[in-house]
Amino acid sequence: MTAGGSSPGDPISATIDGMKQGTSIDVAASPDRVWDVLVDVERWPEWTDSVTSVRQLDSGPLAVGSRVEISQPRIPTGTYTVTALEPGRAFTWEQRQPGSTVSAHHECAPLPDGGTRVELSVVMSGAIGGVVGRLYRKLTDQYLAMEATGLKSRGETIAP
């Protein structure tokens, strides 16, 4: 997959109770630089139109257990909890609601040329996760593409 999100030939994993979508993009910046941009979550609205506001609900750097309130256009504001974090490499956060869980994974991998491959994915699971995933499929693809291209632009142009 590329920064354009899912296209007819892209693999999308869907089951009766869930759906996974994702994208990847190569960034001409070091993994450390891209990671710094990625985990500075309160500044996401500066580089992606898919997020209108982000507020960390806990002090300190992003860590397992950290809670983050995220507002996005056309999606209700939600609180995400970091469930996994590999410093400098990847983090996952989840929003749980009755009948569904939204899990978003963010990963930075080094490339041989010194750049970074960023992989972003969203899994919607639970009793109504598959239905919600299908309803939001196009919007999710758009937001994943916005986040990937925005992160690429920010990582490549703004000095640390």
Per-domain boundaries in the chain: 13-157
pLDDT in tens, 17-74: 578 999 999 999 999 999 999 999 999 999 999 999 999 999 999 999 999 999 999 9
pLDDT at 35: 97
pLDDT at 18: 75
Q: How far apart are CA 62 and CA 44, in angstroms?
A: 14
pLDDT in tens, 79-132: 999 999 999 999 999 999 888 899 999 999 999 999 999 999 999 888 877 777
pLDDT at 75 over 80: yes
Can you tell me whether residue 12 is helix, strand or coil?
coil
Residue 133 banded pLDDT, cuts 50, 70, 90: confident
41: enclosing H helix or E strand = none
pLDDT at 158: 65
Residue 10 banded pLDDT, cuts 50, 70, 90: very low
DSSP string over 98-138: TTEEEEEEEEEEE-TTS-EEEEEEEEEESTTHHHHHHHTHH
Stronger pLDDT, 158 or 16, i.e. the higher one? 158
pLDDT at 3 over 60: no
In the numeric block, the tokens 């994974």 are attached to 105
Q: How far apart are CA 46 and CA 27, in angstroms?
A: 18
CATH 3.40.50.11540 fits domain 13-157: no
Residue 5 banded pLDDT, cuts 50, 70, 90: very low
Let me know the angle formed at the C-alpha of 1 by 125 and 87, rounded to the nearest 5 degrees: 70
Q: How far apart are CA 62 and CA 42, in angstroms?
A: 11
The pLDDT of 75-81, averaged and rounded, is 94
